[in-house]
Structures are given as C-alpha cells and as structure tokens.
Amino acid sequence: MGVKRLIADDAGFEQAFDAFIAQDRKGGADVAAVVSDVIKAVRADGLTAVKTYTQKFDGFELSDDNVAVSAKEIDRAEAVCNADELAALDFAAVRIRSYHQKQMPRDERYTDDMGVTLGWRWTCVDAAGLYAPGGRAAYPSSVLMNAIPAKVAGVGRLAMATPTPKGEMNPLVLAAAKRAGIDEIYRIGGAQAIAALAFGAGPIAPVDVIVGPGNTYVAEAKRQVFGYVGIDSVAGPSEILVLADGKNDPAWIAADLLSQAEHDPSSQSVLITDDEGFADKVSAAVDAQLAASPRRGIAEAAWNNNSAIIVVASLEDAPSLVDRIAPEHLELAVDDPEAMLAKVRHAGAIFLGRHTPEAVGDYVAGPDHVLPTAQAARYASGLSVMDFMKRTSIIGCDEAALAKIGPAAATLANAEGLPSHARSVRVRLKT
C-alpha cells in the first residue's frame, strides 16, 4: 500500500490535500452513549459503580481498602525502578518545573483617568485531577507534564487516577507521581475514573479541573463532564509534521516521523519537502526502520493509513500548508528555522533546526508535551499553569468616580429594559 504521496504542482492537489486533512482518525464505534451511562451510574452510586466497572473493564476487584495507593506502595514501587530511569525522571522534572515557573502570570491593579480602580488577580483552583493511562501505554513522562504545572500554579490537592489491569501498576508511573508531588493516587481508569474525579466517589472527593491523556472513552468522558469541571482538552491521536530540505539525513527524518507513528494506529506523520529525491530516501528509510521496529504493527498502520509525504516546488510554499494542518508537533529541519518560524502561525509546539527532534520535547526540553491535536492548534495552546488558574476582575469606585461613569451605565441599563440595574447606580448619585 505505502504512504500517501501528494505533489503540490499536480492539478488535483487541493482536493487531495483537503481530503487528507479532513479524514477522521478517531475510529471506533460511537462511545458517547456508553460513556453517558457510566457517568450516570457513578453519579448515582458512587464507588459501588466504580467497583463494578473496574471489575468489568480491568479485571480487578476494587475494594474500599485498595482503591487508594498508599505511600508505602509508592516507596516499594520506586525501590524496584531502574536507577538510570529514576535519574532521568529527576532531570526531566527539574526542567519541566523551571519552564512552567516562568509562565506564572502577574496580578495588576491601577486607577484610570476617571478615578476608577481596576485590575485583576490570578488564583489557582483548589483541586485538580490527573488521568494517567495504564493500558496499552503507561507514560511516566505524562505524569510529570500534567502534574508539575498544577503544583507550580499552587494547586493544593492533586489526585491521580490510573487503571490497573489485573491489578498491575507501572512502578515508574508511581515514582513519577511521587516526584511531581501528587497527593492522592487511585486504582481506577476509563470513563468511571473521570466521573469519579468530577463528581466524587467514596473516598475520592470532586476536583475542579481534570487533565491528562486517555483512550476514546476517557476523551469522551472528559467532553461530557466539561462544564461541571474544567478540562485541559479532548485530545485526539498524536501528530507530527516535519518540514525538511534535502540537506537532512533521511534516517533522522524517518525516525522523527515514526516517533509519533509508533504511539497508536490512528497517529499521523507528515513530511513536507521541496526535494522529491529526498522524499524517496525518507520513504525508504521509514520502511527499513519499520522492519526492525518492535512496534511495527502500530507504526506501520499509522504510516500507511493516516500519513503523507507532500512535495512542494519551494519551501516558501510550505507555511500555508502547515497552517492548514495545524499540527500538534512541527519540526523545522531547514537552514534558517527562525525565518520559517516567523511564517508559521498554527502548531502546538515547534522544534527548531536539524538537531531538535520532537522526542526531546516529549521528555526533557521543559515545555509541556500535552498539546492541541486535530487542527485545534488554530485556536488552542498546550497545557500550562494557566489551565489550573483563573483570573478575577477587580473594580472599585469612590463617590467621585461613580459620578463620572455611573450615568452612562444607568442609561445603558434602561436601554436594555433593566430598571433595577439603572436604579442601583442612580440611588448612589447625588443628582
């Protein structure tokens, strides 16, 4: 079958390109009804419903005594972890924390020329919930990326839910949770975990914001509880777009493309280049690396079914295509990545130059790897401390200030047919 090849100069390119970016990669049956039933059950029956679904989906018998992971269990898990892996977690945690500390917003207070005190203040949410996958993929790095911004923001209570198929947990996930300062860990997954975090269940108190990746059921559950709680996003399959000239090593670019393809069969990898011969070499390198990959089945499905190589006449034509794709990850493997950066508007994270593979962003660069997918980079940003904070406006008038701005407020209130609004201003005016 092979990867899709699109040539920008071909007569049918626009139609083919539109069809490519419009394809639905979510796959699977409609899960909305199933998730709705789970949420209703958890809201009605609390931990009893969570226990039922945990037995059904994870093959694990949940009880009042084992729903929470104890500090001793976390310490035992850490003790069996590889020392080099723990050191890498520590290294990553320091860099992630340092980056997010620089994102903290500032309060503002001033008095305008009419004497009105104005401003805003930022405060964090009281409690946040983190979902950490534990099925096909357990990612300690995602625990750090989701939890550390919350703690930097000042969140006092951070609860993590993670599925334990057959009762098994990933020790490195628990070690990451300890380093990130997570306060509570629960052995639950799926839509029932999202419902428990949103509405409470047994010892699990409700939270204000829920973040973290998950499967289709988890994503749909986050969509359905939004409004009761805040969420980071409804994440779709992973994506990477590599913009590369012919001066790159084809094997490097192939590895970058497969770094996202190996996540899931629904992932997407795109190469845009102005060198068709280089495109051929990258395609051949991908095939060679797939043949040796232990995740070949996953990556090959993503590469052949969802991905593309796009050949343009000039790289100057590429930014408009990049913006239409609005990828989760964008690599600029060109001579002058800064110049190309200035021309691109829509991407979740941008990696500059030939020596900045996307994978460093997944682990140790510092910026968050929770990023908008499915063209959401047109309007959304990656996870940050701001996802755990809210801005409150501040307004203050003395008698003189109200005399200056109040009459206009009363006039507008009357115009909108709201006389009590107008009266609440006018009763304070001397005239």
Catalytic sites, residue numbers: 328-329
DSSP string, 59-104: -----TTTSBPPHHHHHHHHHTS-HHHHHHHHHHHHHHHHHHHTT-
Torsion of CA 24, 22, 357, 364, to 10 degrees: -60
The helix (run of H) or strand (run of E) holding residue 259 is helix 250-261
Q: Are 349 and 382 in contact (CB under 8 A)?
A: yes
- Compute the distance between CA of residue 258 and CA of residue 240 in angstroms, rounded to an integer: 9
Kindly state the tokens that stand for 384. 């940050």
> What's the burial of 163, exposed, middle or buried (CB within 10 Å: 0-12/13-18/19+)?
buried
Could you give the 3-state DSSP secondary structure of residue 199?
A: helix
**Whole-Å CA distances, 314 to 176, 284, 320:** 44, 22, 12
d(CA 48, CA 253): 50
Phi and psi at residue 85, in whole multiples of 5°? -70, -40
Torsion region of 310: left, alpha or beta (phi above 0 gives left; psi -120 to 50 gives alpha): beta
DSSP string, 135-148: SS---HHHHHHHHH
Q: Which two tokens stand for residue 341?
A: 């950066």
Give the other-Cβ count within 10 Å of 32's Cβ.
Answer: 13
Q: How many CB atoms lie within 10 A of CB 223?
A: 15
**CA contacts within 13 A on the Cβ side of 18:** 3
